[in-house]
Every structure is written in structure tokens, then in C-alpha cells.
Amino acid sequence: MGAGRSLSRILWNAGGQIKNGCGHRHQWENDDRCGLLGTVQYEIGDRILPAIRTTPEALDIQELLAQIVNAGGRAAAMEVSSHALAQERTRGIEWDVAVFTNLTQDHLDFHRTMENYFEAKAKLFHDLASQSKKKKASAVINIDDRYGEKLIGRLAGKIPVVTYGLGMHADFRASNYRTEFAGTSYQLDAHGRSYLVRVPLIGRFNVANSMAALAAATVMGVSLRSAILSLARTPQVPGRVELVPAKRQFQIFVDYAHTDDALRNVLKTLRELKPRKLIVVFGCGGDRDRKKRPLMGRVADELADYAIITSDNPRKENPDAIISEVEKGFRSTHYEKIVERTEAIRHAVAMAQPRDLVLIAGKGHEKYQEFADHTIPFDDLQVARRALDDLPVQF
């Protein structure tokens, strides 16, 4: 029994696989401090650390868990990537609950096939069922996702499974969904009762993610009513449908959407806000899954009124070549190509009119841009703010 195993027994451990959204730490109970390890940042006590990667290396995980314990933490929520599972970075951790949100095309440069990708994700749940010594270990699974259904079948009779979704058979079921600039509300049916849930985050995907959080919290012993009240105080997650402050008659959002499914979700969400015109700035990362590039172009063509294709993190690839592959997904001519990302963002902001919405997609919370032989500081939100400052004053 190593130190990692004993540390994970000290903490309540929630492992999640979050796509098209993001988890955030909550005070699940007034005296419970919960650490967070995820894509956006690591949260340990009162400290917020930049995330080097979604799921750290095995030894680093144990060091971070130790810091959470030393800071008075009683629980830890960890976003577990498919890469980490394939590379055994979380081996030895005693999970209390594992959460499956959904599975869409991504990371095929690493996994090669969707089946391999699914098997990597499923490993978290197989580990939960076969290795965890904690008596109440449970899985929380999105029943609306076809891979979620497949996972439920595999786990039948092995560990308790709590489901969530929009279907009648979900243990946690959402209906009467409504989104506006202030956030999202919906009716939750669970535990034989109905509840009104309000989340200060917009988007249908945040309905699903919030249900996952509520289900996981109740599995870990938090009362559902307390969890709902905590959820209403959720802070803005950096780079996830994040509104750029602007005293203008149009709105700008920054989001991490870097797959066709994520881009579809966020564009559909912004459509629900009924803009006059929806403008999107986006690109695709270099040295990553090339198959999704035309798919993202197709989504932008179908759901945005105008698109500006630009660079994301080109890495070792030619930015023009990446943009050309994205362009193959377009059928209309309602787009243009601007390789330099700052210029693309400034152009989108300059062309926005009253009641328009501008989405800057792909990099979200990232504070850098990667090229072949160097990395530069780059923050979509700050670039958008500077572009707003340079606009003529409105009277």
C-alpha cells in the first residue's frame, strides 16, 4: 500500500471526464473544503494554481493530493483525461465516485479510433468497480449519451450507477430548460420530488453538467437541496462561454470549444439568446486530430451567420494549411480567412453591430499561443478587450 493509496483514502475522491463544459469546486457542506485538479486550474485551499495539464503525472497527483490534505481539504474533484487513463497516471487512487458526461470525436491523433478512446475513458469505471476498497463507490453516468448507455451495461451488477439526462428513465431528469444572459434554469426531478435549479452559467450543456455535479454530490452524502443552493453560487469558469465586459450594444463571448461537437453546442446556446447576427472566430490546433477540421468548418457554416477562420495553436504545422482544411467544411461564402489571430479578433469586434453576438472559440482560458519553435503570451479575452477599447466612443 503506497502513500498515494492512503492519501486517496483520507479524501473523498470524485473523478470526472468533462467535455463541452467544465467543473468547478464548491463548498459542498459548510465545513467541507474540496480541492480541484482540472484543465483550467488547480485549486488547493485558498490557492489557485495554473494547470500544467488536465491530469498531472502520477507523482504530481499524489503531491497535489497531499497539499489538499495539508490545507484542510476533505474532498478532491479531479478531471481525468483519456491520456492519463491510458498512461496509468491515476493508478492506485481510491475513487468514491466517477462521472461520465459524454464522448465525442477528439484526441484521435492519440487514440486513433473512437473505440480506443472509449476504452480509455471506460478504464476509470473499471478501476472504480474492481480496485476501489471504498464501500460506497458509485458511478454517475449521462444516460443520453450512447457511450454512456454502453458503459451502464458494462457496470450492471458491479457497482451502483446513478443516471442523469433528459429521458424519463434518468434518476436525475431535467425539463423546462431556459437560458438567458444571467444564466440557466430548469426543473429537476430526482428522489421522487421536483426542484427548481438555477445556474449562473448559460447553455444546455451546463444543464447536463450541473445535473452530473448534483448527482455526484448526493452520492457523496450531500443533501440535494444543499447542493442546489451551492450550485446557484457557481462562479464563472474562465474561458467557458465567458462574457467579455463591454459597454456596447453587442456582446462578446470567449469559449474553449475546440471540437465540432463543442462548437455546435456553444453556437446553439448563443442562438437561443436571439442575436441579430452571430459571428464566430475560430481555428484548429496543429499536430492534433486533423479529421475534425472540416467538421468544425461545417458546424460554423451551418450555425453562425458569419465566420472568420484563423490560427489556434499552429504548433509545427503551417497555419495556412490548417485553415485550408477547415475551409473544406464550408458550403457557403459567409466566411473569410485571417491567419493572424489578433487581427481576426479585432476584425470581428469591429464589424459587430447592435444586438450581434461574437464568439471567439478554441482557446478559452489559455494564456498562450504555441508555434513550432516558440510560445507567446496570448489571451483571447484580453485581445477582445483591447479591440473594444480601440472602437470609437458611442454616444
Asked if 181 and 274 sit in the same domain, the reply is no
CATH of the domain at 105: 3.40.1190.10
Range of the domain at 188: 3-231
Per-residue b/e over 278-317, b at no fewer than 16 CB within 10 Å? bbbbbbbbbebbeebbbbbbbbbbebbebbbbbbbbbbeb
Q: Which three cell numbers stand for residue 178?
A: 431556459
Asked if 59 and 173 sit in the same domain, the reply is yes
Taking the C-alpha atoms of residue 174 and residue 187, their distance in angstroms, rounded to an integer, is 6
Span 142-171, pLDDT tens digits: 999 999 999 999 999 899 999 999 988 999
Asked if 194 and 87 sit in the same domain, the reply is yes
- Number of structural domains the chain divides into: 2
Q: How is residue 371 annotated by DSSP?
A: B
Span 254-275, pLDDT tens digits: 999 999 999 999 999 999 999 9
Q: What is the pLDDT of residue 34?
A: 87
Span 42-73, pLDDT tens digits: 999 999 999 988 899 999 999 999 999 999 99
Asked if 192 and 255 sit in the same domain, the reply is no
Whether 71 is covered by a domain: the verdict is yes
Span 346-372, pLDDT tens digits: 999 999 999 999 999 999 999 999 999
Whether 237 is covered by a domain: the verdict is no
Taking the C-alpha atoms of residue 346 and residue 390, their distance in angstroms, rounded to an integer, is 9
Min mean pLDDT across 31-35, 81-85, 156-160, 277-281 is at 31-35
Say yes or no to pLDDT of 133 above 70: no
Ranked by mean pLDDT, which of 26-30, 106-110, 198-202 comes out on top?
A: 198-202
Whether 395 is covered by a domain: the verdict is no
3-class SS letters over 262-319: HHHHHHHHHHCCCCCCEEEEECCCCCCCCCHHHHHHHHHHHHCCEEEECCCCCECCCH
Residue 57 CA neighbour count, 13 Å, CB half: 2
CATH of the domain at 253: 3.90.190.20
Dihedral of the alpha carbons of 98, 229, 172, 82, in degrees to the nearest 10: -30
- What φ, ψ does residue 336 adopt, rounded to 5°? -145, 165
Asked if 193 and 265 sit in the same domain, the reply is no
**Average pLDDT of the chain to the nearest whole number:** 90
